[in-house]
């Protein structure tokens, strides 16, 4: 089996992001972003996606977290797209429901080649500690655009913003795991078009 490992570096005037991923990993997480809450959420993706993810990010955090969070989403999307290669034999679709106490979220993903984010998520609070909940949307928007994936995020209920966010990232990790998994019964690209 070909290794599905990718490294992507993104440099702008605002950020420098370096990401290495292994789609067939064991869930190892190694992060240095300067944003502790984001690292906690990224750890959910690695653990529940059973994907090894290493991220080194430096950005203009003296202004705010926006550019760094968005660019990590963009670069993670690029890395996963690169690791998937021609997408032969992948399941393509993934979905997961995840509860955390009172919160319940669902994530559905399709590596369709058509980037789209549909998000129906409301946070009871504007911030989780110092982290703006609005940046979660920016992260997933960046990911969807650059992974060339259709991504649906739904939170059905939740009274604690941390719980809402954590259910989304855990569900995303599990949906991602399902979608990128190789299916021995599929020999080519999982599309009637023959291309994704």
How far apart CA 174 and CA 145 sit, in angstroms, is 20
Which tens digit of pLDDT belongs to each residue from 10-53? 999 999 999 999 999 999 999 999 999 999 999 999 999 999 99
How far apart CA 28 and CA 50 sit, in angstroms, is 8
Longest dimension (CA), the chain: 50
Give the domain ranges of the chain.
5-180
Answer for the pair 8, 84: CB distance below 8 angstroms, yes or no: no
Q: What value, to the nearest 5°, has the Cα angle with vertex 5 and ends 43 and 153?
A: 45
Per CATH, the number for 5-180 is 3.30.230.40
**128 confidence band (pLDDT: 50, 70, 90):** very high
Answer for the pair 32, 55: CB distance below 8 angstroms, yes or no: yes
Q: Residue 63, class by beta-carbon neighbours within 10 Å (0-12 exposed, 13-18 middle, 19+ buried)?
A: exposed
**196 confidence band (pLDDT: 50, 70, 90):** confident
């Amino acid at each position: 089996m070909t290794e599905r490992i990718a490294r992507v570096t993104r440099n702008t005037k605002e950020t420098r992001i370096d990401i290495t991923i292994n789609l067939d990993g064991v869930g190892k997480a190694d992060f240095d972003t300067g944003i502790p809450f984001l690292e906690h959420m990224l750890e959910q993706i690695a653990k529940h996606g059973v994907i090894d993810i290493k991220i080194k990010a430096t950005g203009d955090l003296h202004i705010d977290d926006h550019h760094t969070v968005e660019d990590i989403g963009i670069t993670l999307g690029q890395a996963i797209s690169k690791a998937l290669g021609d997408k032969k034999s992948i399941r393509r679709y993934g979905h997961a429901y995840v509860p955390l106490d009172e919160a319940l979220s669902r994530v559905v993903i399709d590596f369709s080649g058509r980037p789209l984010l549909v998000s129906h998520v409301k946070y009871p609070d504007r911030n989780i500690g110092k982290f703006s909940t609005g940046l979660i949307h920016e992260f997933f928007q960046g990911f969807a655009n650059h992974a060339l994936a259709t991504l649906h995020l739904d939170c059905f209920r939740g009274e604690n913003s941390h719980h809402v966010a954590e259910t989304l990232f855990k569900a995303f990790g599990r949906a991602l795991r399902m979608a990128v998994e190789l299916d021995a019964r599929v020999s080519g690209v999982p599309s009637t078009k023959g291309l994704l």
